[in-house]
Amino acid sequence: MQAMPDNVMVVDHPLVAHKLTLLRAAATPTGDFRRLVREISLLMGYEVLRDLPTEPVHIETPLEPMTARQVSGKKLCFISILRAGNGILDGMVDLVPSARIGHVGLYRDPLSHEPIEYYFKVPDDMDQRLTVVVDPMLATGHSAAAAVTRLKRAGAGAIKFVCLIAAPEGIAALHAAHPDVPVYTAAIDRQLDEHAYIRPGLGDAGDRLFGTK
């Protein structure tokens, strides 16, 4: 496998690896697939958000006053690349219920594999928020790069990208377009096939999440 950029992080916790193995299995039914994506996303969220800034606050416990830490600054923003990104979004929102949420609608042209935008809705003040972009698969990297480009035009500065499985080709393409954006993934697979599917992968994440095939 080719060398990865320094800002690519594989979340290799044993529970993430275990749940990802169950997720990959063709025999895993839709309901279990959806639940596993949510669970993996929540586990990954701890690593993705490890460097959130905090500030001291004064509180009263049942026994005495104290100074404790809480997350500071504007509420972070999760951006789902539709439609499959919504599967990861659920787990992330479980972890940070107060986060703002945006959506980028992109579909892949079946011939060119290039992304075409059909929907874009994000919160205000994107320049003041940490933006976490979620999509289960980083395959060609074209959709991820297009989504990040669009978010930067909307003012987003600090951006992270989170996926379940990445292909080396997708990592390279996203890094070439946006070298400042770190990638968090549960696994880096071998390669893309002639149809731009990740091998060994897990199939079409959207179809498996929503039971549409």
Instruction: Tell me the per-residue pLDDT of 125-157, one tens digit each, with 9 for 90 and over.
Output: 899 899 999 999 999 999 999 999 999 999 998
Residues at the binding site for 5-phospho-alpha-D-ribose 1-diphosphate are 83, 108, 135-143, 204
What tokens were used for 125?
A: 């003040």
Residues at the binding site are 83, 108, 135-143, 198, 203-205
What tokens were used for 2?
A: 């080719």
Query: Residue 67 is part of which domain span?
Result: 8-210
Give how many domains the chain has, as a whole number. 1
Mean pLDDT (whole number) for 69-74: 86
Judge whether residue 113 has pLDDT over 70: no
Q: Report the pLDDT value the prediction gives residue 114, as an integer from 0 to 100.
A: 74
Residues at the binding site for uracil are 198, 203-205
User: Which of the four pLDDT bands, split at 50, 70 and 90, describes residue 1?
Assistant: low
What tokens were used for 120?
A: 């874009």
User: Do the domain assignments include residue 3?
Assistant: no
User: Do the domain assignments include residue 180?
Assistant: yes
Paired with 160 in beta bridges are: 132
Q: Report the pLDDT value the prediction gives residue 116, as an integer from 0 to 100.
A: 85
State which amino acid sits at residue 117. E
Q: Which residues have C-beta within 8 Å of that of residue 81, sequence separation ≥ 6? A: 104, 106, 133, 134, 135, 143, 144, 147
Mean pLDDT (whole number) for 30-58: 95
User: Do the domain assignments include residue 185?
Assistant: yes
User: Do the domain assignments include residue 2?
Assistant: no
169-206: pLDDT as tens digits: 999 999 999 999 999 999 999 999 998 899 999 999 99
CATH at 154: 3.40.50.2020
User: Do the domain assignments include residue 123?
Assistant: yes
